[in-house]
Amino acid sequence: MAKKPDQKILVIDFGAQYAQLITRRIRECKVYSEIVPHTIKAAEIKTLKPSGIILSGGPASVYLENTPTVDTDIFKLGIPILGICYGMQLMAHLIGGKVTKTGQNEYGKTTLTINKNNYLFKHLSPKQTVWMSHQDSVVKAPPGFKKTALTPGAPVAAMENRTDKLYGVQFHPEVNHTEKGLDILKNFLYEACNCLPSWTTVSMIEEAIIAIQKEVGKNKIICGLSGGVDSAVAALLVHKAVGDQLTCVFVDHGLLRKGEAEQVEATFRQHFHINLIHVNAKKRFLSKLDGVTDPEKKRVIIGEEFIRVFEAEAERMENVDFLVQGTLYPDVIESGTKDAARIKTHHNVGGIPLDIHFSLVEPLRLLFKDEVRVVGEELGLPEEIVWRQPFPGPGLAVRIIGEITEARLEILREADAIVTEEIKRAGLYREIWQSFAVLPTIKSVGVKGDKRSYAYPIAIRAVTSEDAMTADWVRLPYEVLEKLSARIINEVPNVNRVVYDISTKPPSTIEWE
Ligand code: XMP
């Protein structure tokens, strides 16, 4: 387990999508923050010793039955609390204020008028643009509170009780549309909670290193490298902490993109001098995949082979007790399994289930993806790894429709390299979730020079997405499409046509298989 910073803000989650965003914004203010469920008891909060608490927004209305609520004793802990939207309404409802449906719903931007003398809006001008999303409103602040701001639709758009350290805002300071949202959060953090902006990338790294050293001791530890950013950053942190006790295992299944294996070698062995076992298992994987066309069978075969190869390497290195896992904070929140200890089955290494007995070390389990990238940059990882788009564990196997052969892999690898190169050249790589080439089974007729050709098409897929659950195709500029088509047809043998995939997910998926 990564060590937690001493100073922290707890965000109590009432089930909206806002809790993660609030947490990230607080961290942007250089204060560590984490999410807890609304069922948490005041006594437990006390033991966690937070510097402050935020009650998040939520989809519910305070008077509905079974609406999410919170242990009212938290208001007596003397810990500063900020309620946001539903969080403020709940605070008002629970401690003697009045919340009603006024009929004046507010969605989107509105103007906030601020009263003088208050903590949250210190140094802000009296009119502010804020973002609202509510049907209910606090119409009477609880006893001891004063109204600190109003909007056309909310008579109590903000309130505070400085004696009891309780604050509320009806709008959402965490969204970008609230222009001074970060300043308002900073006032809560630095003024009301007395926090210092001390949670920086350097402190994240230092804390992670101390925690890993404590956990691993003098034992040996193994890490599967996939070439992606999470396993790379996790490996570097562990290496900084325990040096040569770490061995990285890179299973090259022959289904990687052009230059990927070489880059892992150059980065980890040559640049960082990390013990690296590079298993060249291309032949083994290709022979198992020989003649297999069913996508799910491909996945199963690759998954199983991966485990075999990884286990064999782990067994060869005697006395290994620990396994590095690149779990991120959103996975921890979703699974709700805090402090996972000894694993048996169905844990992921490079997205593949691993049936192996190790203690897990998860140096990224407190971090969001963007924080992992910042840490990666700070540790000196090359940009291509830090900003690499997601890549499926089974690799190019699920982008070659039908049979996988060396020759077909070569075609796809070359075409894919051109896609990546041109997307990067156009400055679009980071804003696109995934962009890649796909090789179908069909062939079509063309003319190259004066000759008839009968060759494969290449499909280009480029999507934007937040989390891979839904995706939209990218409106790539025509010049980029033109360049891609010309280069792929001219430079990749056996290809005479390029098509662009304009399907959304759902109903399509991102990958073709
Ligand atoms: P789909 O194709 O389902 O993909 O829209 C959603 C996301 O998951 C990735 N993906 C995989 N990742 N093993 C993985 O580790 C797999 O078998 C696999 N299949 C799809 C895909 O690249 C996209 O980011």
So where are the chain's domains?
9-192, 201-386, 405-500
**Residue 508 CA: which ligand 1 atom is closest?**
5
Architecture of the domain delimited by 201-386: 3-Layer(aba) Sandwich (3.40)
Contact 28, 53 (CB under 8 A): no
Token pair 């990238």 is found at 373
Ligand 1 atom closest to 511 (CA): 2
For residue 350, which atom of ligand 1 is closest to its CA?
A: 15
Assess whether the C-beta atom of 511 lies below 6 angstroms from ligand 1. Answer: yes
Q: Is 253 a catalytic residue?
A: no
Is the CB–ligand 1 distance for residue 394 below 6 Å? yes
The domain defined by 9-192 folds into: Rossmann fold (3.40.50)
201-216 and 229-242 helices, crossing angle to 10°:
70
Substitution candidate for ligand 1 out of 301, 302, 509, 510 with most atoms within 8 A of CB: 510
Amino acid at 409: L
C-beta 393 within 6 A of ligand 1:
yes
pLDDT, block means (10 residues), the chain with 513 residues: 76 87 96 95 97 94 90 97 97 96 85 92 95 91 97 94 97 95 97 95 93 96 94 98 98 96 97 97 97 96 92 90 92 57 35 67 93 96 95 96 98 98 98 98 92 97 93 98 98 98 96 97
Cβ of 505 below 6 Å from ligand 1: yes
Cβ(367) – ligand 1 distance below 6 Å: no
Q: Measuring from atom 22 of ligand 1, which residue has the nearest CA?
A: 392
DSSP states of 197-211 as a string?
Answer: S---HHHHHHHHHHH
Quick check: bond before 507 cis, omega within 30? Answer: yes
- Please state which CATH number belongs to domain 405-500: 3.30.300.10
Residue type, 104: Q
Nearest ligand 1 atom to the CA of 393 is 15
Q: Are 292 and 301 in contact (CB under 8 A)?
A: yes
Do the Cβ atoms of 6 and 68 come closer than 8 Å? no
511, 512, 513, best to mutate for ligand 1 pocket (most atoms within 8 Å of CB) = 511
400 vs 116: CA distance, rounded Å: 65
CB 52 within 8 Å of CB 195: yes
Name the residue at shortest CA distance from atom 20 of ligand 1. Answer: 392
How far apart (Å, rounded) are the C-alpha atoms in residues 462 and 195?
43
pLDDT the model gives residue 347: 38
Ligand 1 pocket residue status of 299, Cβ below 6 Å: yes
**Residue 174 annotated as catalytic:** yes
Residue 375 CA, ligand 1 centroid: distance in Å: 25
Q: Is 228 in the pocket of ligand 1 (CB under 6 A)?
A: no
Residue 280 is which amino acid? N
User: Which of the residues 93, 172, 239, 253 is marked catalytic?
Assistant: 172
What's the alpha-carbon Rg for the chain, to the nearest Å?
Answer: 27
The residue annotated as part of the active site, out of 29, 34, 38, 85, is 85
Distance 509 CA to ligand 1 centre (A): 9
Catalytic residue among 34, 106, 160, 174: 174
Burial of 67 (0-12, 13-18, 19+ CB in 10 A): middle
9-192 and 201-386 share one CATH topology?
yes
What pLDDT score does 348 carry? 45
Ligand 1 and 395: CB distance under 6 A: no
How close is the Cα of 2 to the center of ligand 1, in Å? 28
